[in-house]
Chain A
């Protein structure tokens, strides 16, 4: 069964520190992998999207990496800010099956403390 698992479930860091969130998937083959940020009480907002052939994609202080051999992706946040407090969701799109087959991870809840 295709799965997307994220770790840790939750994380607390101090403002200004870096952190890395993990996403392990069993979906194969896949078309792309996307990271979303979801603020409390809001809908998800896309941060990065990578095709299966890409290794890294950046969006400001957010850098996503992809290792298709180990089926792992990570989201690295540099110099964290209080506004980074949110849930981060990894989503994998299988190559077959279309957009209605997207597989969402359960998310990592990040809290940035002053």
Chain B
């Protein structure tokens, strides 16, 4: 079972560049999430999607956009990357619409110079 798959695993960007982080789950889960993890801080929710076709802002949405392409895929886009967005990004999913994240991907390590 692949679970939650994130691509790429690592990426280095220059300030102002754009990028899309990809996430796919093969568990037929309804809800999907994007978090960022910074040193010394807990995970913070960027955006979530309770079901296919819906997306909502989390705690730190500024500078990001998301697309729930279908039930399997949930992408995160940085339109104009800033050094403050250097972080590790995790995608997660859960079976129930509105449930807590059950499965996490292994993260995308993003550095913005």
Binding site for B on A (CB under 8 A): 4, 32, 34, 41-46, 89, 91, 93, 98-100, 102-107
Contact = CB atoms under 8 A, between A and B. Distances in A.
Contact of A45 (B56, B104, B107): B104
Given A44-B104, A45-B104, A100-B58, A4 B98 contact: no
A42 B105 CA distance: 7
Contacts of A42: 106-107
B28 interface: no
Interface residues of B, number: 25
The dominant DSSP class at the B interface is loop
B4 interface: yes
Interface of B: 4, 31, 40-45, 48, 56, 58-59, 90, 92, 94, 98-107
Contacts of A46: 102
A97 B19 CA distance: 31
Contacts of B58: 100
Given A98-B98, A100-B56, A41 B106 contact: yes
B45 A100 contact: yes
Q: Which of A44, A91, A103 has the most CB of B within 10 A?
A: A44
6 contacts: A42-B107, A43-B4, A43-B107, A104-B44, A106-B40, A106-B42
Contacts of B43: 44, 89, 104
A100 B55 CA distance: 12
Nearest to A99: B100
